[in-house]
Amino acid sequence: MAIKRPRGTQDFLPEQIVNWHYIEQHMREICKAYGFSEIRTPAFEDTKLFLRGIGETTDVVSKEMYTFSTGDDKEQSYTLRPENTASAVRAYLENKVYGKENLTKWFYMGSMFRHDKPQAGRYREFHQFGAEVLGSPSPVVDSEVICMIVQLLKDFGLKDLNVEVNSVGCPNCRPTYRQKLIEFFEPKKDQLCEDCQERLYKNPLRLLDCKNETCKALSVGAPEIHEHLCEECNTHFEELKTLLDAANIQYNLNPRLVRGLDYYTKTAFEVQYTPLGAQSAVAGGGRYDGLVEELDGPHTPAIGFAMGMERLLLALEKQNLLPEPTIEPAVFVVALGEAAKLEAFKICQTLRSAYITAEMDGQGKSMKAQLKYANKINAKYVIILGDDELARGEAIIRFMETSEQETVPLDTVSERITSLVKG
C-alpha cells in the first residue's frame, strides 16, 4: 500500500508556492510599514508553555494538541505549537527583550498544529501569519493592529469584510461577570452539551462561543459583558471604538465574541470575509495583558493577532484575486554531441552565476526533443550548439517568441544572453 501524507496536511506544489510567495511578500511589506520585525520560534515547545499560556480549559489544550515524550526526561513532554503567541512571549522572556525595548513589535509566519476535524480551509497542519505588540496598554496599538489587518485584506482586493469587536474585561471585572453567567446557565446545566457542562464552572465565557445549536438557543438572554465592565475596561473600549471610527474602519459590536483562548483581556476582535460562509473568519486576536506575568515575567501589557494563511488563499482563489503567474526569461542550451554537451554545461554555469535561469538536456536527445522541452519550460532564448557550430567557434541564439535566429561568437554568447535578459 502506498504511503500517503497524514490526514489534514497538504503538499504544496510549485504552481501553488507562487501564490504563497505572493501573500507572504505583501505581509512582509505591510509589517514593515507598521514597524514590525520578523521572529521565528521552534515548531515544538515544552508542553507546560501551552498549559499555562493558553489555558487547560480551552479546546486547543484539552482536545487538539500533538504532545509527545522527549525521551530525555520521563516527566517532560513537548508539544507541536498549536498557536504562536505563547511561543513569542516565551522568546520575549527567555531572551530578556523586556529589558532592552520599551515597545516590541514582532510578526511571524509558520506552521501550527492542531488535531482538528479537517475541512475546507481547516487543516491539522496549518499556517499562520501573526503579529504581537508587547509593552503598551494603549488602545492606540489595538486599533493599529486591526487597521493593519483590514488594510492588508483590502490590498488583496477583498471587499466584503466584517470586523467584529468586543471587550472581555479584565481580572477586576470579569469575576463578577463569570458569576452572573454561572447563575444564568446553572438552571439549564443538564441541557447543555457535554463540553459546556464542563466549561460552566471553569470558563463560563466559552459557553457564549459554543457552536452547538442547543447551547446557542439556551444562551439567548445571557448577561452581556459590556454591562459589567469596570471603569478602566469601559474607557479602554470606548477609546478603541473612537480610534476605529477615526480610521474609517467599519465594525460591529459582538458581545458574544470571546475567542477560544483563556489569555485574552479587554479587546477581542475578529475579521471575517463573509463569502466564505461558516469558515469566514480569516483573522482574529485580542489583548493579553496578563500572559507575560502568567509565564513568570514582569507585568507587560500586550496585544496580538493571527491570520490563517490557507483561509486567506481560499478567499483570494474564490474571488479570482490571485495574480496570473509571471514567466521569467529562461534560457535553454541545445547540445548536439559530446563536445557540445561540455560547452553547453560551461555556458549554463556562466549564466547561472549571473542568476539567469538556464537549463540543458544532458541526455543526448534529438534536437526536436530538446526544443520541445525548451517550449515546455517557456524558454525565451535557446542557444544551439553542434559540431558545425563548435568548429566555427560560433553559437546560434534562437528567439523563441519570433523564431528569429542570430549567430554570435562562442566566447561572447553568455555575454549576449545576459544583455538580452537583463537589458
Q: What is the pLDDT of residues 189-241, one digit of tens each?
A: 889 898 888 888 888 888 887 888 898 888 888 888 888 899 999 999 999 99
Instruction: Let me know whether 251 and 368 are in one domain.
Output: no
Split at pLDDT 50, 70, 90, the class of 47 is very high
Instruction: Let me know whether 35 and 135 are in one domain.
Output: yes
Percent of the chain topping pLDDT 70: 98
Selection from 209, 172, 182 nearest residue 289 by Cα: 172
Instruction: Let me know whether 117 and 237 are in one domain.
Output: yes
Split at pLDDT 50, 70, 90, the class of 45 is very high
185 within some domain? no
Read off the CATH number of the domain in which 63 is found. Answer: 3.30.930.10
Measure the CA–CA gap between 147 and 244, rounded to whole angstroms.
Answer: 8
Cβ neighbour number for residue 162 with a 10 Å cutoff: 15
pLDDT digits (tens, 9 = 90+) for 351-403: 999 999 999 998 989 999 999 999 998 999 999 999 999 999 999 999 999 99
Say if residues 49 and 90 touch (Cβ distance below 8 Å): yes
Instruction: Let me know whether 283 and 352 are in one domain.
Output: no
Measure the CA–CA gap between 224 and 9, rounded to whole angstroms.
Answer: 39
Which one-letter DSSP state was computed for residue 258?
-
Instruction: Let me know whether 359 and 412 are in one domain.
Output: yes
Domain end point (choices 278, 296, 318): 318
In this predicted structure, the answer to whether residue 188 has a pLDDT above a threshold of 90 is: no
> What's this model's pTM, rounded to 2 decimal places?
0.88
213 within some domain? no
pLDDT digits (tens, 9 = 90+) for 294-326: 999 999 999 999 999 999 999 999 899 999 887
184 within some domain? no
Say if residues 8 and 124 touch (Cβ distance below 8 Å): yes
Instruction: Let me know whether 137 and 276 are in one domain.
Output: yes
Amino acid at 161: L
In this predicted structure, the answer to whether residue 92 has a pLDDT above a threshold of 80 is: yes
Give me the DSSP letters along 12-43: --HHHHHHHHHHHHHHHHHHHHTT-EE----S
Instruction: Let me know whether 314 and 334 are in one domain.
Output: no
Measured CA to CA in angstroms, residue 266 lies from 167, 250, 316 at distances of: 5, 20, 31
What's the chain's average pLDDT?
92
Split at pLDDT 50, 70, 90, the class of 27 is very high
Instruction: Let me know whether 254 and 389 are in one domain.
Output: no
Cβ neighbour number for residue 326 with a 10 Å cutoff: 6
Q: Which residue has the cell 471587499?
A: 159
Split at pLDDT 50, 70, 90, the class of 57 is low
In this predicted structure, the answer to whether residue 5 has a pLDDT above a threshold of 90 is: yes
pLDDT of residue 261: 60
**C-alpha cell at position 241:** 471604538
Q: Residue 360, exposed/middle/buried by CB under 10 A (0-12, 13-18, 19+)?
A: buried
Q: Give CA angle at 21 (20, 25), nearest 5°.
A: 120
Instruction: Let me know whether 277 and 142 are in one domain.
Output: yes
pLDDT of residue 48: 92
Measured CA to CA in angstroms, residue 314 lies from 251, 273, 350, 361 at distances of: 23, 11, 41, 37
In this predicted structure, the answer to whether residue 55 has a pLDDT above a threshold of 80 is: no
Measure the CA–CA gap between 354 and 368, rounded to whole angstroms.
Answer: 28
State the residue range of the domain holding 407: 330-422
Measure the CA–CA gap between 319 and 395, rounded to whole angstroms.
Answer: 47
Instruction: Let me know whether 166 and 280 are in one domain.
Output: yes
Measure the CA–CA gap between 235 and 256, rounded to whole angstroms.
Answer: 19
pLDDT of residue 262: 65
Q: Give CA angle at 152 (149, 155), nearest 5°.
A: 150
Q: What is the mean pLDDT of residues 143-160?
A: 96
Read off the CATH number of the domain in which 361 is found. Answer: 3.40.50.800
- List of long-range contacts for 2-6, beta carbons under 8 Å, 24+ apart: 6/124, 6/125
Percent of the chain topping pLDDT 90: 69
Looking at the 3D structure of the chain, how many domains does it have?
A: 2
Say if residues 163 and 146 touch (Cβ distance below 8 Å): yes
Q: Which residue has the cell 465574541?
A: 257
Measure the CA–CA gap between 259 and 396, rounded to whole angstroms.
Answer: 65
Domain end point (choices 285, 318, 351): 318
Instruction: Let me know whether 266 and 368 are in one domain.
Output: no
Selection from 403, 380, 405 nearest residue 394 by Cα: 405
pLDDT of residue 120: 73
Higher pLDDT, 256 or 239: 239
Domain end point (choices 273, 297, 318): 318
Cβ neighbour number for residue 407 with a 10 Å cutoff: 12
